[in-house]
Chains A and B, each alone.
Chain A
Amino acid sequence: MAATDAVLPPGRPLRMKLDRDAWTKRAVMIVIGLYLVAALALPLYTMMSKSFTTYRFDLTRYEFQVDDGAGNWGPVVSAQALNDQLGVFAADDLRASSDSRLAPTKLFPDFSFRSPVKYRIRGLGNAPFLVGLDLKRGGDWVELDSNTFRRVNFRPVTARGLGNYITYFSSPTLVGSIANSLTIAVISTIVTIGVAFGVAYALSRSAMPFKGFFRLAMVLPILVPSLLPGIALIYLFGNQGFLKDWLFGASIYGPLGIVIGSVFFTLPHALIIISTALSISDQRHYEAAESLRASGWRTFWTVTVPGARYGLISAAFVVFTLVITDFGLPKVVGGQYNVLAVDIYKQVIGQQNFEMGAVVSVVLLIPAIFAFVVDRMVTRRQVSLLSARSVPYQPKANRRADTIAFLWCALTAIFVIGILATCQFAALVKFWPYDLTLSLKNYAFNRMDGGGWASYGNSLTLASATAIAGAVIVFAGAYMVEKTEGFAAGRNLFHFLAMLPMAVPGLVLGLAYIFFFNDPSNPLNSIYGTMAILVICTVTHFYTVAHLTALTALKQMDREFEPVAASLHQPFHKLFFRVTLPVCLPAVLDIFIYLFVNAMTTVSAVVFLYSAHTQLASVAVLNMDDAGDVAPAAAMGMMIFYTNVAARLIHAAVSRGLLAKTQAWRVR
């Protein structure tokens, strides 16, 4: 009976006939995949290619003929020849950006727009030039009178190459930012991880009081824009700061301010990761250590730290990435200390040098992608130390240790709450630090730059739209990736696209959007300057964490639900809406609030993309601060804070209500 010598008959492997469900799932996945391609891959590609695009004026490719005023044309002469003769344009003048113009009238010393002399001009090899607003190309002579010739401008020709990179790396101020960025990122990471580990350790391993309060206080920074601590630090330690003397003459403007502010806004992220790592500890390991008479110190280094090591590494890379890609904080408190993220902003907004902005973006992408890859590798290694039989750790009271733990947490909480309180206080006084009477004048946003109260309304719109659209897109995408049979290549590609946003700094994404969507030949050009592009950009920017949340929830679903539903001849959407979605509702709500809070606070992803009608509260904080209206900036920052607190509370209430209704089955 055993036919072990049989060989596989020749032919192609069989393929399953696809039913309507399979086609629908694939179609939905492809649609969301195309969304990610259009909202992520193509913009990034465009930006990359722009960083290799150089512009310069090529004088050899323009030729002129001048008449004598009586209809007799002189000899054909090239612009290059004229310039060689006269030396009007130096080599530097011929370097250009995509928008540069160069007026050829300078090549004719005796040019006068009133003279009757006529000019002919042509561009060889499709060299472009403007006559007024008319773009001309090509070798046909264009004949112009003096008055019109005055309005002729050369346009640069494009070339591809490493020119921008060469310029970048030969400019010491720009290259210096690399070292600056790395320095502050490394220092901030070390400090944040130290502080966060202390707090997480105190929360999980001590018997100190007020744990609930500390837990709550430490996550508050996640609810404000990253530039808010910068404003608070300026109030406290700036030129007119209350506590300026505490710095012994050091300046808060620069690396010191960036590091302190970075510790503030990255603390919750580090704390959440490290707490999770520490919470998967097994009481039995500690009992074993105790029975072996290991000292507390030894237990700490042989049980606690190794158990949390992947969490620590992961937290370190997350903090590193957040700091190095953050732009709001160094913008506000960085002073003359240049970092990569601010360089991008300066190149784009200050100098309109988009290509150089793209080069800095590519430079910034390298550490971000490196940190992302390492983090993914570490996360994959992290195996659950917690088996079903593990006993959760129960801390025992220890007076000395508990006191130290309490002090550590109290100091950290004072730091966090102090920063927020400073902002709130500064927002409510008339004129810091000279007139400390309370007033609401700083809330008269309509009298300041930055878009006024309308920008706050826009932020609410953006956050709501991002949360709703994002939750739908992300969860649907994750479902199709997780629950589609076969189609492995498509699913892997989708998964890659979904993970990519984590590695892309917000500013880089924003700049990529300018290149991609602001191109008139792009059919999607019409969304440029609208709320839609802000929503798309924000959903894309925060896609990865939301995607992973959805995947985790979906992976906990029984893999056999789909086969069962198919065997009962029920369409997948019935299963999806009756079972999958209700069971995953807590995860969907988490995605919703995550997107909402981040859309309220984000600056970097949208700072290049808002228009006059779509100014945002978080950007208004930046712009008011820039314009010197620091107190209103603090006031707006706190508005964002309270909005996010309210959103969180509503989320908690709605979750509880919905869960009571839809998750009754969880109770035995």
Chain B
Amino acid sequence: MDAQVAKNDYLTIAGLWKNFGDFTALRDVSLTVREGEFVCFLGPSGCGKTTLLRAIAGLDLQTRGEIRQGDRDISTLPPSQRDYGIVFQSYALFPNLTIEKNIAFGLENTRRPKAEIAARVTELLQLVGLPAQAKKYPAQLSGGQQQRIALARAIAINPGLLLLDEPLSALDAKVRVHLRHEIKELQRKLGVTTIMVTHDQEEALSMADRIVVMNHGVIEQVGTPTEVYRHPQTLFVADFIGETNKLPAKVAEGGKIAVGDTEFRCGRHGLAVGAEAVAVIRPVDIIPHGAGAPSEDMPAGTGGHENLIDAHVEDIEFLGAFWRVRLSAARLGDRILVADFSINAVRRLNIAPGVDMQIELPQERLLVYPKGA
């Protein structure tokens, strides 16, 4: 990723608005994508991610705002005068043309000799790993193969920008995971600046150099996958990416947060003392301890182990790689907390339904956001 820091800005979006009648699909969106970067637009359906992609492609013109690609202002250019390749969820392969004709579609009319086009098609088929399928029709290929042909067709003309509109969502789970790696690999090999729209956080986390999390037509956060996951800047991001326990809370003195009548040390936030807030902790961040250890009478947050509370195991559920444990804690007003514990920890601590134990909510993983919309 260090290599990309040095790269130039390639796509700049400034003050983009999109209105459909009274509905505002994009609200003052600004974003910069660097050359060679793989960026994912992530968000729930209706968040504006596809609208933003279609604005970049010139398919749905924005109501206001500027888009620059390289050193060109492309804000109001028609699609044919922009420089991108696009892959849709539907693949949009031409059904009556063979695979090679599909891929060659963009190469014709360019005064290239036929032999050169044929060579380029062969090269592209090699690149996407389907060298033997040239003479077949799209309907004769599987969904994953069709998607790769659509990708080959899009990159055939060496576009400056590759746009992927939910390219994997029509495929079944296994193919999807496999294709994720292939697309990422191909993108790295070609070094083409790529924007992918997805509603699948796993897809975004595993593929993107940077993720743009969107909601209600605004960008909530832009960051690397680890930034977005570890340090969500808004409650929405915390909630949307990964799983969370949300606890109503009030900001207390001394960098603490009060949940019910218990005060915890928490991560940094800019809220005033007394403000209504939401404390968030992910299930994987809750640390299990055995009953009574390290010290039962020690008030929370005063000793070696901070933010330690008693909890009662309500039930546990085996999810393969880990156990999902539902806990109730008297000091949180009998609120249910969900925690993910490793198989080791469960075995070591004899965690089972009905057992009393202690759990720790580590200070830096206890995130605080203002209460509100």
Contacts and interface: CB of A to CB of B under 8 A. Distances in A.
A-B complex is real: yes
B183 to A, nearest CB: 18
Contacts of A560: 88, 90, 92
Interface string B15-54: 1010100001001100000000000000000000000000
B138 interface: yes
A397 interface: no
10 contacts: A13-B63, A14-B61, A16-B77, A22-B78, A565-B105, A567-B86, A568-B157, A570-B105, A583-B95, A666-B139
A578 B106 CA distance: 13
Interface in A454-473: none
Given A17-B77, A19-B81, A569-B157, A662 B61 contact: no
Among B63, B95, B220: residue with most chain A CB under 10 A: B95
Interface of A: 1-4, 6, 8-9, 11, 13-19, 21-22, 558, 560-561, 563-571, 574, 578-579, 582-583, 662-666, 668
B193 to A, nearest CB: 15
Contacts of B97: 578-579, 665
Among A13, A14, A663: residue with most chain B CB under 10 A: A14
A582 B95 CA distance: 10
A567 B92 contact: no
A19 B92 contact: no
Contact of B94 (A11, A19, A578): A578
Contact of A570 (B17, B62, B106, B220): B106
Contacts of B218: 1-4
A558 B90 contact: yes
B233 interface: yes
Nearest to A567: B86
Given A14-B64, A563-B59, A568-B106, A558 B92 contact: yes
A31 B94 CA distance: 29
Contacts of A2: 215, 218-220, 234, 236
Contacts of B84: 567
A579 B108 CA distance: 15
A567 B90 contact: no
Interface of B: 15, 17, 19, 24, 27-28, 57-59, 61-65, 75-82, 84-86, 88, 90, 92, 94-97, 105-106, 108-109, 137-140, 153-154, 156-157, 159, 215-216, 218-222, 233-234, 236, 373
A193 B88 CA distance: 46
Nearest to B95: A665
A553 to B, nearest CB: 13
Contacts of B140: 668
A14 B106 contact: no
Nearest to A663: B96
A3 B26 CA distance: 11
B95 A563 contact: no
B92 A564 contact: yes
B20 to A, nearest CB: 11
Given A2-B236, A14-B64, 9 more contacts: A8-B64, A13-B63, A13-B64, A14-B61, A563-B92, A570-B106, A578-B94, A665-B96, A666-B139
B12 to A, nearest CB: 16
B94 A579 contact: yes
B220 A1 contact: yes
B77 to A, nearest CB: 6
B27 A3 contact: yes
Contacts of A16: 58, 61, 76-78
Given A569-B106, A579-B94, A21 B27 contact: no
A665 B92 CA distance: 15
A122 to B, nearest CB: 64
Nearest to B66: A14
B104 to A, nearest CB: 10
A19 B58 CA distance: 12
B63 A567 contact: no
Contacts of A583: 95-96
A123 B22 CA distance: 63
B96 A582 contact: yes
B360 to A, nearest CB: 30
Contacts of B153: 564, 568
B166 to A, nearest CB: 12
Given A560-B88, A583-B95, A583-B96, A15 B64 contact: no
Nearest to B79: A566
Main secondary structure of the interface of A (DSSP, over half): loop
B92 A15 contact: no
B96 A567 contact: no
A15 B86 contact: no
Nearest to B27: A6
Contacts of A1: 218-222, 233-234
Among A6, A569, A574, A662: residue with most chain B CB under 10 A: A569
Contacts of A9: 15, 17, 64
Contact of B138 (A15, A21, A571, A665): A665
Contacts of B221: 1
B40 to A, nearest CB: 17
B216 A4 contact: yes
A563 B57 contact: yes
Given A6-B27, A560-B88, A570 B94 contact: no
Nearest to B105: A568
Contacts of B15: 9
A579 B64 contact: no
Nearest to B81: A19
B323 to A, nearest CB: 35
Among A2, A3, A13: residue with most chain B CB under 10 A: A2
A568 B236 CA distance: 38
Contacts of A13: 19, 63-64
Nearest to A583: B96
Among B81, B92, B140, B234: residue with most chain A CB under 10 A: B92
A512 B70 CA distance: 59
A483 to B, nearest CB: 13
B78 A19 contact: yes
Nearest to A561: B92
Contacts of A4: 27, 216, 218, 373
A327 to B, nearest CB: 44
Contacts of A668: 139-140
Nearest to B161: A567
Among A21, A558, A564, A582: residue with most chain B CB under 10 A: A564
Among B79, B85, B139, B154: residue with most chain A CB under 10 A: B79
Contacts of B139: 665-666, 668
Nearest to A485: B59
A579 B138 CA distance: 13
9 tightest CB-CB pairs across the interface, nearest first? A568-B106, A560-B92, A566-B79, A665-B137, A6-B28, A19-B78, A560-B88, A566-B80, A579-B94
B215 to A, nearest CB: 8
A567 B159 contact: yes
Contact of B76 (A8, A11, A15, A579): A15
Contacts of A567: 57, 79-80, 82, 84-86, 106, 154, 159
Given A9-B17, A563-B59, A570-B105, A14 B75 contact: yes
A564 B234 contact: no
B15 to A, nearest CB: 7
Given A3-B28, A664-B137, A668-B139, A574 B59 contact: no
Nearest to B30: A3
B13 to A, nearest CB: 13
B86 A564 contact: yes
B222 to A, nearest CB: 8
Nearest to A10: B64
A563 B154 CA distance: 11
Nearest to A557: B95
A639 to B, nearest CB: 39
Given A561-B94, A583-B95, A665-B139, A17 B78 contact: yes
Contacts of B137: 664-665
A6 B59 CA distance: 25
A165 B90 CA distance: 58
